[in-house]
A and B are shown apart, each in its own frame.
Chain A
């Protein structure tokens, strides 16, 4: 206990220091992890309602936030890591803000967003009761090396889960994992109404092993099926019952799929306590995470930040918005968290931006992005690698129209910070749960 207390104090001090410096959501966790490697096990030992891990390539942060909101709307005390800091250390960092010196988390349920690799490392320390496996797409291949490897990580996580697993029926990389789930561990599914499955191809990676995919059983009353009504409204069916129609504060099919995944898992965890009304209310009111379709009032006109990290995500984002004429900026960095290989930009089609053009490209790879757009015959008005100068110019030259910035992770963090300073927004990591 003494060692854990020391770990908490050390971590908290580092957290304060990191906040004063204005960055680094994973660093304090690193300090605590070094002092007491059993920190996580101990902290979660008092959480009796379940430890839910949410992982997959796209939609982790949004889905985690939705799931936590639904559970809270049912009166549960939920610990989550809402900062999008989805490494084990990030989870510890998030805990340090709320942890009593006993080192035991005071919560009913933990809902943790973890990237694929860290989900496994986490599961070695604390086997999750539930795992929600969203999808597998090409993302930061310089870290995960190959998409098959990523799919393998998710399968291993599923085998370490003790209570139940929720799988995506529309992604063959994920649905194939069914065969590896241990006897006694319940499997439930989420997916899209086959009648609208035409919208699916851009969401999922071509799976060359599709020939040996396992058959997915027809949905039961415990499996969530998404029925989109239009670009905003949708219903989620569970057999003959379900929730909706309702609208989210985030647009697009991807967010609706995330809501379907979150609702399926919430229903799984809550059992008989699941309330349609509480869930609907939670989904209607939950705010998008930073940079995931977040709209900021920047000088009297809306400015939207859209995080892009891989071809599937960028393609879906472009598809969500293409009907609306807005002024566009694209900011591409190539740090570790962005993916160092910018090759993936060539797996996205930018033709939907051709009519409107792009006002500005920015980030370390601003010229590579402009070159990419040139090959799709999309006109680029200006190139400014420096993010601060680019943002200033973008807002000054387009003061009165709706604006959208597609940005990679570190570019998003920097832009969010600049916007927070200019327009008095809550800083990153200070978002209320």
Chain B
């Protein structure tokens, strides 16, 4: 089968910011891109390395405090490029720690303010209590299910769109019913699970947009069998909504 085009997928900080199975999102994106009939090249971006000239899709994961402090300097180096790519409509999925770093700032429990990229108009405060458990959202990409585990409490600025409305679980802060944030095609979210394998609607939205950027043509999806993902997703949603 001839390839429909090459998609460059960048995994930001797979060593430092890749806990809770975030690698699964990259595995899932790469695998689905191939199954849709495109070629994929996965670029592991480590602190100090150079981004590829053409980057069509970004994925970043959660980390520990020690991991976050290790990527800050590099993030400052690639910040301008990421901002330009984001405003040009490059799809990005940023989970947990990287979601926080894509916001305006993270304010620690001690009151120290760590600046973020400001791509998403959100601010996160460190919190004494963790928000842990299964979570179900209504999003523009359909129902989305995952697992949240974060102590950061995130507030959206007015005008900033949320990724989803919480139907079960805690979300950004446990009080306003929002989860994550979406600007252009940048999705920030606390959802582990990992979120992409079990939510193919969201995944294919990101891939479709990346395919358009990579080829200059509309997305030409393949005929994928998502029976397993639908079963896993719907069973877990039913369980969480019933609890």
Contacts and interface: CB of A to CB of B under 8 A. Distances in A.
A141 B232 contact: no
A274 interface: no
Max count, chain A CB within 10 A of own CB: residue among B15, B21, B192: B21
Nearest to A149: B64
Interface string B1-24: 000000000000001100111111
B28 to A, nearest CB: 6
A371 B198 CA distance: 8
B65 to A, nearest CB: 7
Nearest to B47: A208
Which secondary structure characterizes the binding site on chain A? helix
Interface residues of B, number: 35
A371 B19 CA distance: 20
Interface residues of A, number: 28
Interface in B204-227: none
B66 A209 contact: yes
Nearest to B228: A371
A342 B198 CA distance: 12
A343 B147 contact: yes
Contacts of A374: 228
B183 interface: no
B15 A208 contact: yes
A206 B133 contact: no
A141 B20 contact: yes
Contacts of A342: 147, 193
B130 interface: yes
Given A343-B22, A372-B24, 4 more contacts: A209-B66, A343-B192, A346-B23, A368-B198
Interface of B: 15-16, 19-25, 27-28, 31, 64-67, 70, 130, 132-134, 147, 149, 151, 192-194, 197-198, 228-229, 231-232, 235-236
27 contacts: A138-B19, A141-B20, A141-B149, A142-B147, A145-B149, A146-B19, A146-B65, A147-B19, A147-B64, A148-B65, A206-B15, A208-B16, A341-B20, A341-B21, A342-B147, A343-B192, A344-B20, A344-B21, A345-B24, A346-B23, A346-B25, A347-B21, A365-B232, A367-B231, A367-B232, A371-B198, A375-B28
